[in-house]
Structure 1
Amino acid sequence: MKELHLSNKLAWSLFAAFAIVSLYLLGVRTLVPPDEGRYAEMAREMFASGDWITTRLNGIKYFEKPPLQTWMNALSFALFGLGDWQARLWTGLCGIGGVALTGYAGAKVFGRRIGFYAALVLGSCFYWAACSQIDSLDMGLSGMMTISLCALLIAQRDGAPDHERRNWMLACWAGMALAVLSKGLIGLMLPGGVLVVYTLITRDWKLWTRLHLVKGLLLFFAIAAPWFLLVWMRNPEQPHFFFIHEHWDRFFLKEHHREQAWYIFVVLTAVGMVPWLGVLFQSLALGAKREAGRFRPRLMALVWAAFIILFFTKSNSKLPGYILPVFPALALLTASYLEHGTRRSRMLAAALLSLVGAALLATVPFMPKMAGHAGEHVLYQAFQPWVLAAGFIALAGGGLAFIYARQMQRDLFVLVLAIAGFATTEIMLAGFEPLGQVRAGTNLLPAIKAELKPDTKIYSVGLYEQSLTFYLRRTVTLVDYLDEFTFGLQQQPELAIPTVAAFADQWTRDAAAGVRDVAIIRADIVKDLQQKGVPLRVVAQDSRRTVIANDIKKP
C-alpha cells in the first residue's frame, strides 16, 4: 500500500501545482455579470477616487455589503493594474488559503493522513473549486470563516498548550472580525450560533472559559469597528440601511425576491460535494458519533455545517453562494471518514464521478438547444469540446479511482479522485468564456470605444451592465433603472434620469447642440424611440443589448 500522505515532497508539489493552476486560471475568463462585474467596478472606482471609506457602484453610494473585498480588489489594482485576474485575485487567494488551512487543521487535530485528505477533498469539491475562480463575496467570506473554524478546532483540541490555545483563539476572533467586514453580521452570528448549539449538545460549558473572550472581543472590535464608525460619520444614513434592510429585512421578508424551495441548500450541498458525494452521508454520520476526550472536533464540524445550512434554509433570501462556508467543515468530516471508511463507499464515490462524466458526455449533443437568446447556439457549440473533455476526465478519473478503491489503495484513490474532480471543474469554467463574453457584452467594446471621446456622455437605459462599465473604465448615467441602486439614488437622485421620456428629451437637446451621447439600451426601448423620431444611430448590438449614438447635427 502506497503511503503517499507521508511524503512532504509530494504534498508540497501538489499544493504548488494546485496554487499555480488556480492562479493562472483567474485570468482566462471575462468578468461575468452581475457579481463579478459589480465587485470589480466598485474596486475600480475606489482605486480611482481614493475614497476607501464610502463604497460606491457607478458613482452611487452602495452600502449593501462591507468593504473588505472592495479593499482587497482595489489593492490588487493598485499593485498589478486593472484586469480580470487582478479582480479575482482576492477570491483566488481565499480559496487557496482555505485549502491550506483546512489541511493544516486536519493534520493538527486528527492526524497527518486526514490533513492530507482534507486538503485534497476541499480543493476538488465542485463548489469550492468553482467559487475560488469567481469574484464574489461568498468566497471572501468563506475564507475568513475558514480561519475561524480551523483556528477554533486547533485551539480547543485536547492537549493544546496554553500559548497555542490563546494564539489560535485570537486568530479565530480575527477571522470573525474579517468575516464581518466581508459580508456583515453573519460573520459573528454563524460561529456564535455554532458554539451555542455545540455547547447545548455536549454540555461542555467550560468551553466558554477557553475562548479568551475579553482579549478576543477587544481584538474583534479593533478590527471590525473602525470602518463602521468612519462610514457612519460620513454617511449617517448607512447604519439603518445596512443593519436593518440588509440583515433583518433580507432574512425575514420576501421583498428581495430571492425565495427558493426549502430544500435548495441540501441539494446544492450535495452537488457542491462532487466528487465526494458517495461518502458524504457516511461522513456526516461519523461526525455524530461519540469521540474520546473532552473536545469533540468532528461534532463541531458537523454542527458548523448543519447550523449554517439550516440558518439559510430559514431565511427568505436564498442565493447559491450562501452555503459555501460549510465546505471546509464537510471536507474535514469527509477526510476523517476516508481514513477508515469501507471499500464499498469509496467505490461508490468513484462510480458517481464516472456517472457525472457520462452525464456530461450525454449532454454534449443537446447543448446548442440550451441557448436562451437568438443566435447564441454557436456559443454553446464552442462550449461543447470543453464539456466533452471534462466528461472524459470525470469518466476516466472515476474509473481509475474505482480500481484503486477496489485494491484498497486509499491514498491513491483519494489523490486520483481529487485530481479528476478539480480538473473537471476547471475545464468547464475555462470553456465558458464565449458565453461569458456575451453575457458581459465585451464583444461590443470596440464599437463603443470608437464612439467615445473624453467628454462623451454614456447612458444606460432600462438596464445596467455590471461588467461593461468596468471594461469601459467609466461610470454611466442610469435611465429608468433602480434595482440595487434604489437606496443610493434616494440619497442622490440627481445622479440618474428617472424616465425614458426625460432621457429622450435630453438626448435630442444634446444632438441639436452638437453634444455627443452614447447609450447602452434595451432593444425594445430603441424600437420605441425610433418610432417617436428620436435621433439615433445603432452602433452595435447583440442578443442582449443595443448600443446607440445620437445623430449630431452639423452646424
Structure 2
Amino acid sequence: MTTETSIPLGGRQKTLRSIMTSPLLLVLVIALSFFWQLGAVPLYDLDEGAFTEATREMLASGNFITPHRDGEPRYDKPVLIYWAQAASVEWLGFNEFALRLPSAMAATLWVMALWFFVRARIDAETATVAGLVMALCLQVSIIAKAAVADALLNLFIALTFFEIYRYYLQPDVARGRKYIWRAYLWMGLGFLTKGPVAVFFPVVVSFLFFLSELRLTVSSWRTFGRWFRAVFAGDGWLIFLAVAVPWYVAIYLDDGAGFFRSFFLDHNVGRFDGAMHGHGGFPGYYFAILPLILLPFTGWFLSLFKRYKSAWQDPLDRFLWIWFLVVFVVFSFSGTKLPHYLLYGATPLFILMAKHRDALLSRWLAFLPPLLFFAVLALLPMVLDVAVAVADKPHEVALFEYGRSFIDRPYVLAVMAGLVLTILLMRWSGTAFWQALIFVGILQTIFVFGVLVPRVFDTLQTPVKEAALKAKAMDLPTVVYRTSMPSFSVYRDAITPNRIPKDGELVFLRVDKLQKLVMDDPQLELELLYQRGAVALLRVRRPQ
C-alpha cells in the first residue's frame, strides 16, 4: 500500500488530494475520455469500417449468426461485439455514436471493475487514482471511442483476472466456488468476443502465479493444488460452454467449417506465426510502443522499477507483474504486432502505478514524455511539408497535401497551449507529481480528441464518407476497385462489390488505383464525380 497517507499535509494539499481522489472526478474524467466527441468523427478504416459494415449487414439481412462484410462471410472475430452494436443501433439509430457506444460502455465497466477490485484490496483513494490513470491513458481512451471489439475484450479479461486473485485469497473451497464460476463466465463471454486469447492468458498467468507461491511446505503445495482444482472444475467449464458454445454450433450449422478454419487457424495461429495484413514489427517493437500507449504516464510507469526488489514479496504486486510480463513476452514473440495487444496486460500497470504513486519523485521522469508528445505534434507541419516533398505515390502526395491544409493556426495555437500548460504543471510546487500528471492527462485528452483526432479523421475519412453519401444519393450500381475502405459501404448503406466496374456503374477507389483501372480495361470512359484527399468517385461509360 502507498505510504502517502503517512506524510503530513497542509490545508491546500489536503484539499487538492481530496479532489484528486474523489470518485466524482473519476466520473467526470470517464465522461470526458470515453463519451466526449464519441460520434463527432467518421468511422475509420480498416477496423471500424469492417466491424460496423458487418453489423449493418447483420441488421439488413436478419442473419445474426454469421457476420458478413460486403456480402462475404467475415471470420475475423466472433459475434458478441456485432450483437452489442446492433442492439445500440436499434435503440439510437444507425450513426457513429450508437456504433461506438458499446465500446464506451465496456470501457466504463472496465474502470468500475478495476475500482471495486482495488478498493477491496488496497483502499478507495488508490482505486480512484488507478481509475483516473486508466481512463486518461492514451490507448485506453482510443479503444473506448472505437467501434471495435477491444474494449469489450479487455473488460472480460480484467474481470477474469480479478476473480482469479479473489479465488487465491479465499482458501475455503465452498466460498471460493463463486469466484471460479464467475471467472468461467467472463472467459466464456471473452471467448465469444475474440476467441482463445480470453482463456489463454488467464490460464497461463494463474498457473505461474500459483507456482510462484510454491515452497517446501504442505500449505504451499495445497495452495498450488487449488490451481488444478480451479482449472479442472467441471461446473466452471459447464458455465463456459453454456455461454460460448451455442453460437459456435450455430455458425457451424449456418456456414459450415469455414469460420473454424479461418478464425482459429488463420486469425489465431496465423497471427502468431506471421504478420497478418502487414502488421509486423521488429523484436523490440513493444519496448518502443509501451511508452507511447501509456502516455502521459510513461515516466510514472518507469518509476515502478524502483520497487522491483520488494515486488516479488507482495502477493498482489507479484500477481500484477506476472500478468503484465506474460502478455508482454507472448506478444513480443508473435509475428503480428499491434499496439492495442499490450492492453491485455495494461490493467495491472494502472493498479501498480496508483499503489506506488509515492515512488514518482523525479520531475523530469514524470513530465518529459508528455513534453515530448506535444513537441512532436508542434513539428507536424514541418513533417507534412517534408512528406509532400519526398512522397512518390499519387495517393500519398494527395493525402499529405490535403492533411497539411488542416494544420492551421488554431491547431498551432492549441498545441503550443498544451506545451506551455504542461510546463506550468511541471513547475507547479506544493503538489505531488502524480497529481499534476493527472491534470496533464486531462489536458492531453482534450487536445487529442478536440483538436488532433478531428483533423486526422477529416483528412483520412471524411472524403470516404462524402463519396459514399454522394453515391447513395445517386442510387446507381456501385463498386469499389482494389480499395479496402469498408466504411464506404457503411455510409452508402449497401453492399459494395470489389471488382472492375461495368458500364453505367459508379466506382470508388484510391487515386493511385486509377492508372491500374485504365490498364485493366482501356475501353472505359471515366467521369470524375468527386475527388478529395486520396479517394475518388467516378462514373463509368463504355463506348458502344
TM over 0.5, shorter chain: yes
Instruction: Provide the C-alpha distance between the structure 1 equivalents of 2:28 and 2:165, rounded to a whole number of angstroms.
Output: 25
Which of 265, 273, 279 is 1:252 aligned to?
273
**Structure 1 8/323 Cα, relative in aligned 2: closer, same or farther at 3 Å?**
closer
Q: In the alignment, is residue 299 of structure 1 matched against residue 290 of structure 2?
A: no
Instruction: Provide the C-alpha distance between the structure 2 equivalents of 1:425 and 1:167, rounded to a whole number of angstroms.
Output: 42
**Structure 1 274/17 Cα, relative in aligned 2: closer, same or farther at 3 Å?**
closer
Aligned to 2:359: 341
Aligned to 2:282: 261
Residues 79-132 of structure 1 deviation map (CA, whole Å, 9 limit, x = unaligned): 111111111111112222222222222221122222121011111111111221
Residues 434-445 of structure 1: pairs in structure 2 closer than 5 A:
434-438=458-462, 441-445=464-468
Residues 52-71 of structure 1 deviation map (CA, whole Å, 9 limit, x = unaligned): 11111111111121111111
CA-CA distance at 1:401 after TM superposition: 4.8
Residues 468-507 of structure 1: pairs in structure 2 closer than 5 A:
468-479=488-499, 500=500, 507=502
Instruction: Provide the C-alpha distance between the structure 2 equivalents of 1:376 and 1:261, rounded to a whole number of angstroms.
Output: 26
Instruction: Provide the C-alpha distance between the structure 2 equivalents of 1:251 and 1:520, rounded to a whole number of angstroms.
Output: 34
**Structure 1 466/118 Cα, relative in aligned 2: closer, same or farther at 3 Å?**
same
CA-CA distance at 1:433 after TM superposition: 3.1
Aligned to 1:196: 207
Q: Which amino acid aligns with 2:106?
A: C
Which of 113, 130, 141 is 2:125 aligned to?
113
Instruction: Provide the C-alpha distance between the structure 2 equivalents of 1:291 and 1:156, rounded to a whole number of angstroms.
Output: 16
- Between Structure 1 and Structure 2, how many residues are aligned? 510
Residues 267-301 of structure 1 deviation map (CA, whole Å, 9 limit, x = unaligned): 111111111111213325636625667xx122111
CA contact (8 A) 1:402 1:413 kept: no
Q: Secondary structure at 1:539's aligned position in 2? A: strand
**Structure 1 550/131 Cα, relative in aligned 2: closer, same or farther at 3 Å?**
same
CA contact (8 A) 2:130 2:354 kept: yes
Residues 372-411 of structure 1: pairs in structure 2 closer than 5 A:
372-374=396-398, 376-384=400-408, 385-386=410-411, 388-390=413-415, 392-397=417-422, 399-404=424-429, 407-409=430-432
Aligned to 1:448: 471
Aligned to 1:457: 477
CA contact (8 A) 1:360 1:391 kept: no
Q: Secondary structure at 1:324's aligned position in 2? A: helix
Instruction: Provide the C-alpha distance between the structure 1 equivalents of 2:260 and 2:360, rounded to a whole number of angstroms.
Output: 53
CA-CA distance at 1:232 after TM superposition: 1.1
CA contact (8 A) 1:55 1:63 kept: yes
Stretches of structure 2 lacking an aligned partner (at least 5 in a row) = 1-8, 215-222, 389-395
Residues 324-363 of structure 1: pairs in structure 2 closer than 5 A:
324-338=343-357, 340-344=358-362, 348-363=365-380
CA contact (8 A) 2:460 2:533 kept: no
Instruction: Provide the C-alpha distance between the structure 2 equivalents of 1:123 and 1:21, rounded to a whole number of angstroms.
Output: 6
CA-CA distance at 1:547 after TM superposition: 2.0
Q: In the alignment, is residue 223 of structure 1 matched against residue 234 of structure 2?
A: no
Aligned to 2:536: 546
**Structure 1 362/244 Cα, relative in aligned 2: closer, same or farther at 3 Å?**
closer
Instruction: Provide the C-alpha distance between the structure 2 equivalents of 1:549 and 1:414, rounded to a whole number of angstroms.
Output: 53
Q: Which amino acid aligns with 1:400?
A: L
Residues 432-480 of structure 1 deviation map (CA, whole Å, 9 limit, x = unaligned): 2322335x6123235423432xxx322222223211100000001221x
Instruction: Provide the C-alpha distance between the structure 1 equivalents of 2:309 and 2:148, rounded to a whole number of angstroms.
Output: 33
Instruction: Provide the C-alpha distance between the structure 1 equivalents of 2:459 and 2:63, rounded to a whole number of angstroms.
Output: 34
Q: Which amino acid aligns with 2:417?
A: F
Instruction: Provide the C-alpha distance between the structure 1 equivalents of 2:118 and 2:190, rounded to a whole number of angstroms.
Output: 21
CA contact (8 A) 2:134 2:140 kept: yes
Q: Secondary structure at 1:538's aligned position in 2? A: strand
Which of 123, 137, 151 is 1:125 aligned to?
137
Q: Which amino acid aligns with 1:396?
A: L
Q: Which amino acid aligns with 1:528?
A: M
Q: Secondary structure at 2:36's aligned position in 1? A: helix
**Structure 1 21/282 Cα, relative in aligned 2: closer, same or farther at 3 Å?**
closer
TM-score w.r.t. structure 1 length?
A: 0.83
**Structure 1 255/273 Cα, relative in aligned 2: closer, same or farther at 3 Å?**
closer
CA contact (8 A) 1:275 1:353 kept: yes
**Structure 1 387/166 Cα, relative in aligned 2: closer, same or farther at 3 Å?**
farther
Instruction: Provide the C-alpha distance between the structure 1 equivalents of 2:423 and 2:164, rounded to a whole number of angstroms.
Output: 34
Which of 442, 445, 469 is 1:419 aligned to?
442
Residues 11-90 of structure 1: pairs in structure 2 closer than 5 A:
11-19=23-31, 22-90=34-102
Q: Secondary structure at 1:32's aligned position in 2? A: coil
CA contact (8 A) 2:508 2:536 kept: yes
Q: Percent identity?
A: 18
CA-CA distance at 1:416 after TM superposition: 2.3
CA contact (8 A) 1:351 1:399 kept: no
CA contact (8 A) 2:328 2:342 kept: yes
**Structure 1 215/86 Cα, relative in aligned 2: closer, same or farther at 3 Å?**
same
CA contact (8 A) 2:286 2:339 kept: yes
Instruction: Provide the C-alpha distance between the structure 1 equivalents of 2:201 and 2:486, rounded to a whole number of angstroms.
Output: 30
TM-score w.r.t. structure 2 length?
A: 0.85
Residues 527-553 of structure 1 deviation map (CA, whole Å, 9 limit, x = unaligned): 3367x2324433223343332223489
CA-CA distance at 1:182 after TM superposition: 1.4
Aligned to 1:214: 234
**Structure 1 402/124 Cα, relative in aligned 2: closer, same or farther at 3 Å?**
farther
Stretches of structure 1 lacking an aligned partner (at least 5 in a row) = 480-499
